[in-house]
């Protein structure tokens, strides 16, 4: 391959790189979505009411041992390469790479039936994906998450330019973190202003998958990206524009002794990741604000502006009513 | 009292970590031929992670990359109860007599690797082996046994059967030269991104193999 061919090869391959390190369960979600999209494209037909419509995929650390401890699972050879017609009506135990997959039939008429099946297999603590072929819908749940989150199938088509990234961050905020019902379910107890303990990590994971699955062809999303100056929560590389964005995510809580200091730390971290890489890159400090009042922190805003870091504050409302009222002047 | 042979220990650790990573990556049990080829790939790219591979030289053998030393380690580890051997088959093919077998980690092997990974050398080697094995596991199943044969050092013109392929010099390692090309052509995405370079290199040779 000459340089031009290699460059073209890289543009395609970079978009397919995994989000995280070797065993990161988010990679598993991405792998399964590839399989689901391939199946949907190959068998683009209506599912009759008499046919199975559901299937689910469970990420297993040592899949062979787990499959051996349950009855009725058979090895699906070449699962990674093939697109079998008899794909539905099964529960799949998968290695994170989908190189080794075991399946057994399952009778399910709802997604709840599938989650019950996973619980019966004692695998509820694993990341999994449920798929309804009739409605072309899929949901995933992380190993630590409590709720199913929708997956955009057939995604990756929407081009994302760096100029539109702010809009996309805002969309994520509204769908995932703005209210107690957002997909991240940010609150442990909204009345007492208690957020989930690992909210930063959950936001990071959901944002990774949100961007990756929606704009797969256009961006390389790297979670916990190691930079010479520290570990960026997220690195977004816009493939065609060849520009990198570095994101540091923070949660402001009422329990923080010094919110300004925490915010400045986030701004400084984002700045440090950028300068260690590409000076033309862009640094974001995204702060999810779970304090009692929705008020701007001018000192932080000025500090970020002085560092040329894009500081964004997203207020986490305690109820959908509060969120709706925020639009009334 | 016999002296401790550090080279032997490093090689044994490398092989054991690789067998264990195969279990997590869904590549287990792994056939002997596939394992040797995967180890060959791990040797080609080890310097990306500044890891010291078990062997920096391999003979271009009629059956593909094969390491007598690695085989000795596998046999030794199975005798120690850390690696399980199954489906042993001795047969003759076009190249002559040959023994095939499948290898997987045992419970004791898992505990041993957990201990090894807590030591500094085990941790850094383990990180590299994990990335390599999982990237290998994300290639098309039908190509897993073949891609090492398209590896740039192995398939280089002028390297005849019986020739020695060495990875002692970074400059002459065609795999590392290719990853440098990747870095040069996509600096924003790949500069100092060794995990990504490794993954893309394996996909590159997979594509070459398919061509």
Looking at the complex, does the CB of residue A329 fall below 8 Å from at least one CB of chain B?
A: no
Average pLDDT score over residue span A273-282: 82
Average pLDDT score over residue span B115-119: 95
Which range, A117-121, A147-151, A254-258, is most confident?
Answer: A117-121
pLDDT higher than threshold 60 for residue B1? no
Instruction: Please indicate, yes or no, whether residues A214 and A255 belong to a single structural domain of this protein.
Output: yes
Give A80 to chain B, closest Cα distance, Å. Answer: 7
pLDDT, residue B151, reads: 94
Out of B188, B192, B196, closest to residue A244 by CB: B188
Query: To the nearest whole number, what is the mean pLDDT of chain A?
Result: 92
Residues of B contacting chain A (CB within 8 angstroms): 21, 23-28, 104, 130-131, 133-135, 137-138, 140-142, 181-182, 185-193, 195-196, 199-200, 203-204, 207
Size of interface A-B (CB pairs under 8 A): 106
Number of structural domains in chain A: 2
pLDDT by residue (tens digit) across B144-193?
999 999 999 999 988 888 888 888 888 889 999 999 999 999 998 998 89
Q: Which of A151, A178, A200 is the last residue of a domain?
A: A151
Instruction: Please indicate, yes or no, whether residues A91 and A177 belong to a single structural domain of this protein.
Output: no
Instruction: Please indicate, yes or no, whether residues A187 and A264 belong to a single structural domain of this protein.
Output: yes
Q: What residues of chain B lie within 8 A of the CB of A7, using their CB?
A: 185-186
Give A96 to chain B, closest Cα distance, Å. Answer: 6
pLDDT higher than threshold 80 for residue A155? no
B189·A3 Cβ contact <8 A:
no
- Looking at the domain assignment, is residue A156 inside a domain? no
Residue A40's CATH number? 3.40.1700
Instruction: Please indicate, yes or no, whether residues A176 and A261 belong to a single structural domain of this protein.
Output: yes
- The parent domain of residue A307 ranges over 162-325
Q: Which of A102, A129, A151 is the last residue of a domain?
A: A151
Residue A224's CATH number? 3.40.1350
Confidence of residue B63 (pLDDT cuts 50, 70, 90): confident
pLDDT higher than threshold 60 for residue A321? yes
A14·B141 Cβ contact <8 A:
no
Out of A9, A17, A278, closest to residue B199 by CB: A17
Looking at the complex, does the CB of residue A25 fall below 8 Å from at least one CB of chain B?
A: no
Give A254 to chain B, closest Cα distance, Å. Answer: 38
pLDDT, residue A284, reads: 97
In SS3 terms, chain A reads as: CCHHHHHHHHHHHHHCCCCCCCCCHHHHHHHHHHHHHHHHHHCCCCCCCCCCCEEEEEECCCHHHHHHCCCCCEECCCCCCCCCCCCCCEEEEECCCCCCEEEEECCCCCHHHHHHHHHHCCCCCCCEEEEECCCCEEEEECCCCCCCEEECCCCCCCCCCHHHHHHHHHHHHHHHHCCCCCCCCCEEECCCCEECCCHHHHHHHHHHHHHHHHCCCCEEEEEEEEECCEEEEEEEEECCCCEEEEEEEEEEECCCCCHHHHHHHHHHHHHHHHHCCCCCCEEEEEEEEECCCCCCCHHHHHHHHHHCCEEEEEECCCCHHHHHHCCCC
Instruction: Please indicate, yes or no, whether residues A179 and A140 belong to a single structural domain of this protein.
Output: no
- Looking at the domain assignment, is residue A157 inside a domain? no
pLDDT by residue (tens digit) across A8-64?
999 999 999 999 999 999 999 999 999 999 999 898 777 777 788 999 999 999 999
Instruction: Please indicate, yes or no, whether residues A254 and A314 belong to a single structural domain of this protein.
Output: yes
B134·A23 Cβ contact <8 A:
yes
Out of B137, B141, B193, closest to residue A81 by CB: B141
pLDDT by residue (tens digit) across A59-99?
999 999 999 999 999 999 999 999 888 899 999 999 999 99
Looking at the complex, does the CB of residue A6 fall below 8 Å from at least one CB of chain B?
A: yes
pLDDT, residue A51, reads: 82
Instruction: Please indicate, yes or no, whether residues A70 and A104 belong to a single structural domain of this protein.
Output: yes
Average pLDDT score over residue span A238-252: 94
> Which pTM does this prediction carry?
0.94
pLDDT by residue (tens digit) across A169-192?
999 999 999 999 999 999 999 999
- Looking at the domain assignment, is residue A245 inside a domain? yes
């Amino acid at each position: 391959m000459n340089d031009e061919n290699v460059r073209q090869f890289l543009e395609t391959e970079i978009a397919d790189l995994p989000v995280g390190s070797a065993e990161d369960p988010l990679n598993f979600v991405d792998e399964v979505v590839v399989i689901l999209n391939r199946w949907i494209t190959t068998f683009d037909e209506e599912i009759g009411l008499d046919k199975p419509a559901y299937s689910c995929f469970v990420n297993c650390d040592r899949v062979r041992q787990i499959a051996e401890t349950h009855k009725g699972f058979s090895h699906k050879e070449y699962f990674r390469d093939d697109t079998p017609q008899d794909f539905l009506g099964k529960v799949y135990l998968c290695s994170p790479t989908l190189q080794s997959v075991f399946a057994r039939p399952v009778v399910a008429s709802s997604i709840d039936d599938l989650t019950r099946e996973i619980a019966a297999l004692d695998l509820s603590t694993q990341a999994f994906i449920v798929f309804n072929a009739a409605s072309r819908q899929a949901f995933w749940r992380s190993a630590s998450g409590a709720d199913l989150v929708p997956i955009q199938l057939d995604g990756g088509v929407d081009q994302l330019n760096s100029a539109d990234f702010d809009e996309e961050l805002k969309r994520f905020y509204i769908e995932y973190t703005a209210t107690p019902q957002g997909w991240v379910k940010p609150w442990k107890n909204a009345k007492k202003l208690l957020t989930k303990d690992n909210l930063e990590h959950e936001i990071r994971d959901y944002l990774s998958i949100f961007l990756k699955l929606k704009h797969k062809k256009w961006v390389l999303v790297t979670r916990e990206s190691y930079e010479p100056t520290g570990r960026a929560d997220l690195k977004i590389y816009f493939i065609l524009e060849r520009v990198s964005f570095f994101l540091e995510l923070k949660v402001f809580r009422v329990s923080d002794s010094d919110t300004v200091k925490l915010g400045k730390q986030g701004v400084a971290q984002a700045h440090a990741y950028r300068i260690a890489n590409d000076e033309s890159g862009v640094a974001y400090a995204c702060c999810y604000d779970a304090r009692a009042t929705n008020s701007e922190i001018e000192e932080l805003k000025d500090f970020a502006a002085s560092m040329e870091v894009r500081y964004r504050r997203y207020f986490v409302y305690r109820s959908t009513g509060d969120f709706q009222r925020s639009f009334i002047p | 009292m016999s002296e401790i042979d550090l080279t032997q220990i490093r090689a044994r650790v490398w092989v054991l970590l690789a067998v264990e990573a195969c279990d997590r990556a869904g590549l287990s049990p792994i056939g002997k031929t596939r394992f040797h080829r995967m180890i060959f790939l791990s040797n080609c790219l080890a310097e990306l992670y500044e890891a010291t591979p078990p062997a920096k030289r391999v003979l271009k053998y009629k059956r593909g990359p094969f390491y007598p030393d690695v085989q000795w380690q596998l046999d030794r580890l199975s005798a120690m109860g850390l690696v399980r051997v199954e489906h042993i088959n001795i047969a003759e093919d076009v190249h002559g007599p040959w023994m095939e077998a499948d290898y997987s980690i045992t419970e004791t092997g898992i505990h041993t690797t957990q201990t090894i990974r807590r030591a500094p050398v085990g941790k850094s080697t383990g990180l590299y082996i994990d990335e390599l094995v999982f990237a290998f596991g994300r290639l098309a199943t039908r190509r897993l046994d073949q891609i090492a044969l398209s590896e740039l050092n192995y398939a280089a013109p002028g390297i005849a059967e019986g020739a020695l392929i060495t990875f002692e010099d970074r400059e002459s390692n065609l795999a590392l030269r290719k990853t440098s090309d990747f870095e040069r052509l996509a600096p924003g995405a790949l500069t100092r991104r060794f995990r990504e370079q490794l993954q893309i290199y394996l996909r590159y040779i997979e594509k070459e193999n398919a061509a």
